[in-house]
Amino acid sequence: MTPILAAGLLDPNFGLAIWVALTFILLLILLRTFAWGPITKALDERETTIQTSLDQAEKALAEARLIQADNDKARRESEVEAQRILREARDTAETLRAEEVDKTKNQLRQMQASALAEIERERDSALVALRTEVADLALQAAERVLGESMNGDRQRKLVTDFLNDLPTN
């Protein structure tokens, strides 16, 4: 019996073939209407979305490169500016230092001149005091030698005249 059943399956049956063909065509129409259309539409939309995303990504990448180039340029410019500021600061510091050195030297010269003037005044004062003392001693010596006393004004005039005749060294 088994071989007989198998023989019936292999026999051509045109009615069944027509129904299978009709069912297949109907399935194709239904799939095309309800499945392939929405699937291809979804795939097209997905492709469009992906392409838009890729275009936006390329645009963003180009903008990022421009921004990076601008940042690099700004960084280089800021480095140049920082070096210029440092150079100016060094020059200013050197100028200030030189001014302070000159100011200190001038102060030292002024102090030295003041000290020399003070020494000169003290020397002159000491010379005047020494002349006065020498005059007094000379008068006392002359008084003893002469044995007579001269009045103080006359004595001073004589000594002052004598000292004025002497060299100032």
> Is the pLDDT reported for residue 66 higher than 70?
yes
- The Cα–Cα gap between 7 and 10 comes to 5
Using alpha carbons only, give the angle 140, 141, 143 rounded to the nearest 5 degrees: 65
Contact between residue 139 and residue 159 where contact means Cβ atoms under 8 Å apart: yes
Averaged over 131-146, what is the pLDDT?
Answer: 74
Its pTM stands at 0.41
> Is the pLDDT reported for residue 8 higher than 60?
yes
Indicate the SS3 state at residue 40.
helix
Q: Give the alpha-carbon dihedral of 37, 38, 44, 47, to 10 degrees.
A: -150
pLDDT at 127: 85
pLDDT at 39: 86
> Is the pLDDT reported for residue 5 higher than 60?
no
CA 29 to chain centroid, in Å, comes to 77
Averaged over 27-37, what is the pLDDT?
Answer: 88
Output 149 or 94, whichever has higher pLDDT.
Answer: 94
> Is the pLDDT reported for residue 9 higher than 70?
no
- Position 115 confidence tier, pLDDT thresholds 50, 70, 90: very high
At which residue do the structure tokens 């069912």 appear?
23
Averaged over 19-43, what is the pLDDT?
Answer: 90
> Is the pLDDT reported for residue 103 higher than 90?
yes
pLDDT at 107: 93
Q: CA-CA distances (angstroms) from residue 58 to 45, 65, 71, 72, 99? A: 20, 10, 19, 21, 60
